[in-house]
Amino acid sequence: MNESSAHGERLGIVVGGSLTGGMEVKLDSATPIEEMAVGRYVVIEGQTSRFFGMITDIELGAIDQQLTITPPDIADSFIADVVTGTSTYGKLQVTPMLTISGDATSLLEGPKPVKTVPRHFSPVREASEQDVELVFGREDERHFYVGTPLDMETKVCLNIPEFVTRSNGVFGKSGTGKTFLTRLRLIGMVQKGAAANLIFDMHNEYGWEGTSEHVPNVKGLKQLFPSQVALFTLDEESARRRKVSTDYVVQIGYDEIEPEDIALLRETLNLTEPAIEAVYQLAREFGQARWLEGFFDLSTREETKELLEKLHVHESSYRNLRRGLERLKRLSFLTPRARDNSVQRILEYLDRGMHVVLEFGRYTDITVYVLVANILTRRIYDQYRERMERAMGEKVDKPHPLVITIEEAHKFLNPEVADQTIFGIIAREMRKYNVTLLVIDQRPSGIYDEIMSQLGTKATYLLDNEKDIDSVLMGVSGKSELKTVLSKLEAKQQALIFGHALPMPVVVKTREYGSTESYRELGFREAAELKRKAEEEIKDLF
């Protein structure tokens, strides 16, 4: 279907509807119904305002219901054209979401939420590129291009400063493109300077390079922003094998692990409730900083028996706890005394305006990921809270906003543990101390409802579980219409984005990332030059 430069093609007219149920639009006989698509944008030309809306359903109608009982013979093309133009018609369900008044003041202020409906027989047309740009803004120092609407080439932009003011989420079943969209959002935050990032990179996708179905690999943040991104790792050997130059190797001391961290791992370590209670008793016996080392130092049977009797811990609970904690003891980055303060090093980079990616190397087990992310985030958050309180009391500058990115978010934010993790606190406080989350998950129904409702902007790819769909759309106006849109997304590269950083929900085809042209569009140097510089740095290192 052709688009003019300023106005989209006319589609039909409004024949009914309501503010809550949406508008019924009868298609003109010349409008091919097969070219309509759920998620596409249209503009309704009201008497005094324009209504910007989304197609949420497509129907077939007939003036005479007898036609549906006794269909005519349409083998003759002339009869088919006559019937289609006079007795049958196509109908759209359109949900208006924004209004644009015609006066100059309204144009300057931008679109407003819909509070009324257009009159009967208002003409409906396709949204033009200018309409989309007026609603979503153009790419500038605040707006970052994330994708294009269905069947359009115009850009949909995310307001990055608004995006970082709240915690946000990226959802979708495995293989739909969550990592690509997350990587784009991280690039946007780095380019616009809206916040510092701490990324817990479970599968080594964001730091040096990531994977793609279309090209052998794609460049990570460190290659694109070598002077703005620091690459930390838990696994120096893995980094060397991959020929990745890292800025810092993280170690965690036994004294940094608190009983709450072990309680959070109850499911993954297969610990019983009495075993978790024993952890707290050990902390009271040896002290918060010494309990784990004291536990591992138990060497003789007599010594162990004496301690268990003193703490009233059953031997079966002790054996259960021993089996679980021995799994942690085998991790090479855990040591009785860390050689350096990893939290302090992360904060030093963040304070210099840099972004930190922590790669986990071969440690892709969820137990390791939850343990490390929780320990580091808790201590970093404590530092940010102290700085914010000092800033409020002494009238000094507040710390730069921090966004913490976590994968497998339901492991941190499910109803059983959300109150125990620092991530649950951050999500509920909504940037009280200048810290927010970017959560990535393929099982959003596993996240606590209260926390899902606090997420400001959500992007969701295709979900095939009813509970996951209901969870993502919880508390959203027009949930039933958006549910229809979400169910019609393609398996890859199409996402429904809605929430605080956008004026209205939008279905986008995610912009390309990974080709030489895409790097050029993002404002980077030629891919060959990036590769040459990276190879020189690796050669110097090794």
Q: Which tens digits make up the pLDDT trace of 369-389?
A: 999 999 999 999 999 999 999
- Give me the chain's average pLDDT, please: 88
Nearest alpha carbon to residue 524 among 185, 229, 225, 230: 225
Which helix or strand (DSSP H or E) is residue 12 part of?
A: strand 10-18
- Checking if the pLDDT of 353 tops 90, the result is no
Q: Residue 226, Cβ neighbours under 10 Å: how many?
A: 15
**Residue 172 tokens, joined:** 């979708």
In three-state secondary structure terms, 94 is strand
Whole-number percent of the chain with pLDDT over 70: 90
**Residue 261 tokens, joined:** 């961290």
Q: Which residue did the predictor score with more confidence, 108 or 464?
A: 464
Instruction: Round to whole Å and give the CA distance between 411 and 418.
Output: 9
What are the CA-CA distances from residue 510 to residues 133, 176, 214, 506, 533 (Å)? 17, 11, 14, 11, 29
Instruction: Round to whole Å and give the CA distance between 159 and 143.
Output: 5
Q: What average pLDDT score do residues 359-371 get?
A: 94
Whether 405 contacts 184, CB under 8 Å: no
- Checking if the pLDDT of 7 tops 90, the result is no
- Checking if the pLDDT of 33 tops 80, the result is yes
Instruction: Round to whole Å and give the CA distance between 282 and 298.
Output: 12
Nearest alpha carbon to residue 448 among 466, 429, 430, 474: 474
Amino acid 4: pLDDT: 40
Stretch among 52-61, 79-88, 140-149, 392-401 having the lowest mean pLDDT? 79-88
Amino acid 479: pLDDT: 87
pLDDT tens digits for 34-84? 999 998 999 999 998 899 999 999 998 888 777 677 777 666 666 666 666
In three-state secondary structure terms, 344 is helix
Amino acid 208: pLDDT: 92
- Checking if the pLDDT of 320 tops 50, the result is yes
Whether 375 contacts 328, CB under 8 Å: no
Q: What average pLDDT score do residues 317-346 get?
A: 94
- Checking if the pLDDT of 538 tops 80, the result is no
Nearest alpha carbon to residue 505 among 97, 22, 150, 110: 97
**Residue 494 tokens, joined:** 């199409």
Tell me phi and psi for residue 290, to 5 degrees: -120, -5
Whether 75 contacts 127, CB under 8 Å: no
Q: What average pLDDT score do residues 313-322 get?
A: 94
pTM value? Answer: 0.87
Nearest alpha carbon to residue 248 among 376, 154, 136, 371: 376
Q: What average pLDDT score do residues 270-298 get?
A: 94
Tell me phi and psi for residue 230, to 5 degrees: -105, 135
pLDDT tens digits for 203-241? 999 999 987 766 678 899 999 999 999 999 999 999 999
pLDDT tens digits for 230-271? 999 999 999 999 999 999 999 999 999 999 999 999 999 999
Amino acid 349: pLDDT: 95
Instruction: Round to whole Å and give the CA distance between 395 and 285.
Output: 42
Instruction: Round to whole Å and give the CA distance between 408 and 402.
Output: 20
